[in-house]
């Protein structure tokens, strides 16, 4: 607004206030414009995950509905999948690396921008809870390997064998050919990335994975790395990732999405642009999958992936639904 107009409007305002009249008539000409700009009240709370994880969102929803925090909701939501041995890419029952060791990565972020994470964690099912303990009970943000495991044990976590009979069998079969060929889509289960907004409007996020099946020993993906697998800015929104972690890491995908939302993009537009960054920088994109989900402070959600078959699970407005995500690559 030009300074002259601003002064004119300001004086109109002071006349209206001084004379005790309402501002309605003074603003009449702007009525249509302001109606258009009205931001709908967010439908809160909500919980959203990558992929089809209705049990995780249900757990998170129960916490949110009872007035619990988004931080508790995302932690306990992820714990559901970590404990599910049928889920072969998260927690106990996750696929091992090529040496037969199950190594977990997880991260968590709260409404205050605090972050905690673990990488290459072995023998502990609930990596997400260890990540939370790193955030809340240590002066650090990221712990790895044996040190992270010892820290978890000191906090009362139970040591467990994470390789199950069935993942051991599958690994032994894989060893016969030892071909490293990540699957483009694991339709119903992969890294769980979860975002939640509680009744206070506060946003938290969490991400937990056993990483790519039969990865090289020592490999770490995007999930535990702040800004890549997960990023939250409670004044703007949050984002989380699934799929080929190397590509998410190279483009710092979740941070990018939050920054794009800060610049005014919707969660959907921001996720799409983050996928386009990957596609534009890597001609090999037909051979791997990446999917993003995001929420903004207004409670709008978005998602985008390279390939079809990526979906997200959304619990909002008393409804727990799985939604197909839009995708980049139309296969002919
Ligand atoms: N997105 C999980 C991983 O690459 O490890």
pLDDT tens per residue across span 49-94: 999 999 999 999 999 999 999 999 999 999 999 999 999 999 999 9
242 lines ligand 1 (CB under 6 A): yes
Instruction: Say if CB 293 and CB 74 are below 8 A apart.
Output: no
Residue of 78, 245, 250, 278 best suited for mutating to test ligand 1, as the one with most atoms within 8 Å of CB: 245
Distance 240 CA to ligand 1 centre (A): 11
Per-residue model confidence (pLDDT) at position 96: 95
Distance 300 CA to ligand 1 centre (A): 25
Token couple for 188:
């119903």
- Strand, coil or helix: 119: strand
Q: Which atom of ligand 1 is nearest to the CA of 241?
A: 1
Per-residue model confidence (pLDDT) at position 94: 96
Residue closest to 222 by CA, chosen among 182, 253, 181, 195? 253
* Beta strand 46-50 pairing with 311-316: antiparallel
Distance 266 CA to ligand 1 centre (A): 25
Per-residue model confidence (pLDDT) at position 177: 84
Q: What is the mean pLDDT of each run of 10 residues along the chain (332 residues)?
A: 38 35 40 58 94 97 98 98 96 96 98 98 98 98 98 98 97 86 58 97 98 93 98 98 96 98 98 96 91 97 95 97 92 47
Q: Is the pTM of this model over 0.85?
A: yes
Q: Given the structure tokens 């996720």, which residue do they identify?
A: 271
Distance 257 CA to ligand 1 centre (A): 18
Per-residue model confidence (pLDDT) at position 12: 35
DSSP secondary structure letter of residue 327: B
CATH 3.60.20.30 corresponds to the domain 46-324: yes
Active site residue 103: no
325 lines ligand 1 (CB under 6 A): no
The residue whose CA is least distant from atom 4 of ligand 1 is 245
Q: Given the structure tokens 């995007």, which residue do they identify?
A: 222
Residue of 91, 210, 242, 288 best suited for mutating to test ligand 1, as the one with most atoms within 8 Å of CB: 242
φ, ψ for residue 128, nearest 5 deg: -65, -35
Cis, peptide link before residue 205, omega less than 30° from 0: no
Distance 243 CA to ligand 1 centre (A): 6
φ, ψ for residue 58, nearest 5 deg: -65, -45
Output the DSSP codes for 202-247.
-EEEEEEE--STTPPTT---STTSBTTTEEEETTTEEEEEEE-HHH
Question: Cα dist. 121→124, 154, 202, 316 in Å?
Answer: 7, 14, 29, 33
Could you give the CA distance from residue 76 to residue 56 in angstroms, rounded to a whole number?
8
Direct distance between the N- and C-terminal alpha carbons of the chain, in angstroms, rounded to an integer: 50
103 lines ligand 1 (CB under 6 A): no
Per-residue model confidence (pLDDT) at position 330: 73
Given the residues 57, 103, 125, 191, the one annotated as active site: 191
Distance 177 CA to ligand 1 centre (A): 23
Could you give the CA distance from residue 145 to residue 322 in angstroms, rounded to a whole number?
35
107 lines ligand 1 (CB under 6 A): no
Residue of 103, 222, 289, 306 best suited for mutating to test ligand 1, as the one with most atoms within 8 Å of CB: 222
Instruction: Say if CB 270 and CB 257 are below 8 A apart.
Output: yes
């Amino acid at each position: 607004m030009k300074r002259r107009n601003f002064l004119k409007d300001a004086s109109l305002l002071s006349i209206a206030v001084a004379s005790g009249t309402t501002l309605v008539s003074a603003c009449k000409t702007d009525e249509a414009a302001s109606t258009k700009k009205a931001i709908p009240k967010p439908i809160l709370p909500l919980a959203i995950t990558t992929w089809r994880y209705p049990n995780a969102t249900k757990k998170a929803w129960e916490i949110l509905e009872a007035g619990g925090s988004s931080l508790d909701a995302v932690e306990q939501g992820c714990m559901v999948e970590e404990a599910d041995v049928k889920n072969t890419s998260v927690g106990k029952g996750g696929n091992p690396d090529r040496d037969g060791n199950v190594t977990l990565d997880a991260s968590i972020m709260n409404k205050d921008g605090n972050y905690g994470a673990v990488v290459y964690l072995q023998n502990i099912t609930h990596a997400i809870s260890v990540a939370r303990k790193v955030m809340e009970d240590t002066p650090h943000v990221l712990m790895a390997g044996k040190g992270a495991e010892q820290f978890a044990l000191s906090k009362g976590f139970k040591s467990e064998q994470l390789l199950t009979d069935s993942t051991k069998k599958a690994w032994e079969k894989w060893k016969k050919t030892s071909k490293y060929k990540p699957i483009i889509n694991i339709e119903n289960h992969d890294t769980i990335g979860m975002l939640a907004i509680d009744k206070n409007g506060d946003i938290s996020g969490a991400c937990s994975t056993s990483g790519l099946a039969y990865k090289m020993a020592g490999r770490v993906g995007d999930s535990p790395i702040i800004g890549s697998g997960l990023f939250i800015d409670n004044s703007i929104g949050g984002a989380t990732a699934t799929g080929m972690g190397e590509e998410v890491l190279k483009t710092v995908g979740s941070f990018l999405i939050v920054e794009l939302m800060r610049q005014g993009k919707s969660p959907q537009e921001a996720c799409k642009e983050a996928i386009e960054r990957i596609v534009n920088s890597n001609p090999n994109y037909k051979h791997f999958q990446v999917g993003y989900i995001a929420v903004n402070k207004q409670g709008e959600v978005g998602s985008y992936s390279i390939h079809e078959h990526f979906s997200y699970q959304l619990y909002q407005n008393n409804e727990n639904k799985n939604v197909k995500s839009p995708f980049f690559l139309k296969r002919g």
